[in-house]
Copies of this chain bind each other. A is one copy, B any other.
Amino acid sequence: MREKYNQLTTLLGQIADLRHTAALLEWDQQTYMPEGAAVARGRQIATISTIAHNMSTSPELGSLLDELQSWAEGQGVDSTVCSLVRVARRDYMKEVRVPADYVEEFSIVTTAAHHAWTDARAKSAFAIFRPHLEKIVELNKRYISFFPPADHPYDTLLDNFEPGMKTAEVKAIFEKLRPAQVKLIQAISGRQQVNDKFMNLQYDEQKQWDFGVMVATAFGYDWRRGRQDRSAHPFTTSFSMDDVRITTRFEKNSGASALFSTMHETGHALYEQGISPELNRTPLEGGASLALHESQSRLWENIVGRSLPFWEYFYPQLQKIFPAHLAGIRLDDWYMGINRVERSLIRVEADEATYNLHIMLRLELEIAMIEGSINVKDLPEAWNARMQQYLGITPPDDAHGVLQDIHWAGGMLGYFSTYALGNLISAQLWEKHAADNPGIEEQMRKGDFTRLLDWLRGNIHCHGRKFEPQKLVERVTGRGIDP
């Protein structure tokens, strides 16, 4: 059995190499690739993905997983061997259900949809995107049909991003959260608004970059096993736990956005860099789920990076770097400014208080599309109605409304709720961490994050995909996701 297990890990190691190689092709596409190479690059990614898919669905892999199952279970449910076979089996059973011609059609439809979405957004004309989104909804319904019936058809989609999570569970969490959050925002809106004009000045990009690097380094990001580059949209990608890269972008007249984006991506990267080396090149490498991943990025960006203790240490340094911008701005002004709450139209620019409402809106619309209780043609209206209901504002056009996100154009339904779940998990983890390490605020005041990172490594990062996300949260905090 040990020999068969070695065969299994060799095969899975090659599949991991292929996935990481595809990730490098994509990273390069978004950072350095010359524009003329787009067609060639598309073919290369397709070739590598096809080979990875063929290996991931090979009868050889299926037989090995069958043969090893009971032996692996005998190693103990929390053992790496048992988790590895279980997760590899889960991935395998998912992937073999999806026919190759579906994968191809999905790829063709989403490529066209992406172009249509870009065009539709530029012209703020939902009608251009509508037929493509209709096809994407149909494709997602077809995808669901490949799987045994779940409690709710949306479960099948959600499970790809949040293993084991049910639509009913997410709905229950959001039902509880929404009224409280709407009320909070209404209360804040009624108060005097915070001044954050200093955020909208032009800050030197290289100095922003250097400051971001300093903060990421203080957090514990290992530059020997990572790097930062520029891209149109910030992201984190990993070509192994020893090569976890982040990207950032600089926006004119939005001084701190690159800094918070760097903290956010650093949070993702610390997760990937902290996975136990024994999980290297196995399916257990990577985060437990998108929500868990987001809990890490949000924890470093929002709970640490927007806290007063953090800035007690870093603000004097930032002032020194940008004296012309910040000399007259006191620490308290800065702290208030970076935590300003504002009802706004665009999700990716939303603050902590309003963000979850953007997510709830999308989840409800996605579920309705899958249930068939809403037609795609009625989506803009439904979007705007909910924006008014939850946030009290109405988008002036579809570009600032239903067309703002790229996810649906990429065929991804089932993804959005993980952002809000990540917010909740980050708060729960922080609460537990503060109980275990009561000195954390004092440590942050000294720019010292070592105990925090060690705690996250030991409790979350090292496990990779060994545990299902909700079980992992329960394991660490003593309870499930709790709004």
Q: Which residues of A contact B (CB under 8 A)?
A: 13-14, 17-18, 20-21, 24-25, 28, 32-37, 39-41, 43-44, 46-48, 50-51, 222-227, 229, 239-240, 242-243, 245, 280-281
Contact of A24 among B24, B35, B223 (CB under 8 A): B24
Least CB distance, A27 to chain B, in whole angstroms: 9
Least CB distance, A381 to chain B, in whole angstroms: 37
Query: In the complex the two chains form, what is the Cα distance from A40 to B280 in whole Å?
Result: 9
Whether A35 lies near B224 (C-beta < 8 A) is yes
Closest 10 CB pairs of A and B: A37-B243, A40-B240, A17-B47, A36-B225, A36-B224, A17-B44, A36-B242, A37-B242, A14-B47, A40-B242
A245 contacts across to B, CB distance below 8 A: 34
> Given A14-B47, A36-B224, A37-B242, 11 more contacts at CB 8 Å?
A20-B40, A21-B25, A24-B24, A28-B28, A37-B239, A37-B243, A40-B239, A40-B242, A40-B280, A43-B281, A51-B51
Least CB distance, A244 to chain B, in whole angstroms: 9
Between A and B, 8 residue pairs with Cβ closer than 8 Å are: A14-B47, A24-B44, A28-B28, A34-B243, A36-B224, A37-B239, A40-B280, A40-B281
Least CB distance, A101 to chain B, in whole angstroms: 13
Whether B20 lies near A243 (C-beta < 8 A) is no
Chain B residue nearest to A22 in the complex (CB): B21
Chain B residue nearest to A15 in the complex (CB): B47
Whether A41 lies near B243 (C-beta < 8 A) is yes
Whether A32 lies near B229 (C-beta < 8 A) is yes
A46 contacts across to B, CB distance below 8 A: 17
Q: Would A44 and B20 be within 8 Å (CB), given that A35-B224, A225-B36 are in contact?
A: yes
Query: In the complex the two chains form, what is the Cα distance from A12 to B229 in whole Å?
Result: 34
A40 contacts across to B, CB distance below 8 A: 20, 239-240, 242-243, 280-281
Least CB distance, A345 to chain B, in whole angstroms: 33
A47 contacts across to B, CB distance below 8 A: 13-14, 17-18, 21
Least CB distance, A51 to chain B, in whole angstroms: 6
Whether B39 lies near A17 (C-beta < 8 A) is no
Least CB distance, A33 to chain B, in whole angstroms: 7
Chain B residue nearest to A50 in the complex (CB): B14
A36 contacts across to B, CB distance below 8 A: 222, 224-225, 242-243
Chain B residue nearest to A38 in the complex (CB): B242
Whether A21 lies near B34 (C-beta < 8 A) is no
A243 contacts across to B, CB distance below 8 A: 33-34, 36-37, 40-41
Chain B residue nearest to A28 in the complex (CB): B24
Chain B residue nearest to A226 in the complex (CB): B34
Q: Would A223 and B20 be within 8 Å (CB), given that A40-B243, A242-B40 are in contact?
A: no
Whether B242 lies near A43 (C-beta < 8 A) is no
Contact of A239 among B17, B21, B44, B226 (CB under 8 A): B44
Q: Would A225 and B21 be within 8 Å (CB), given that A14-B47, A28-B28, A43-B13 are in contact?
A: no
A223 contacts across to B, CB distance below 8 A: 34
A24 contacts across to B, CB distance below 8 A: 24-25, 28, 44
A227 contacts across to B, CB distance below 8 A: 32, 34
Least CB distance, A74 to chain B, in whole angstroms: 30
A239 contacts across to B, CB distance below 8 A: 37, 40-41, 44
Whether B242 lies near A17 (C-beta < 8 A) is no
Contact of A43 among B17, B25, B34 (CB under 8 A): B17
Whether A34 lies near B240 (C-beta < 8 A) is no
Least CB distance, A225 to chain B, in whole angstroms: 4
Query: In the complex the two chains form, what is the Cα distance from A17 to B243 in whole Å?
Result: 23
Least CB distance, A182 to chain B, in whole angstroms: 44
A34 contacts across to B, CB distance below 8 A: 223-227, 242-243, 245
Whether A37 lies near B225 (C-beta < 8 A) is yes
A25 contacts across to B, CB distance below 8 A: 21, 24
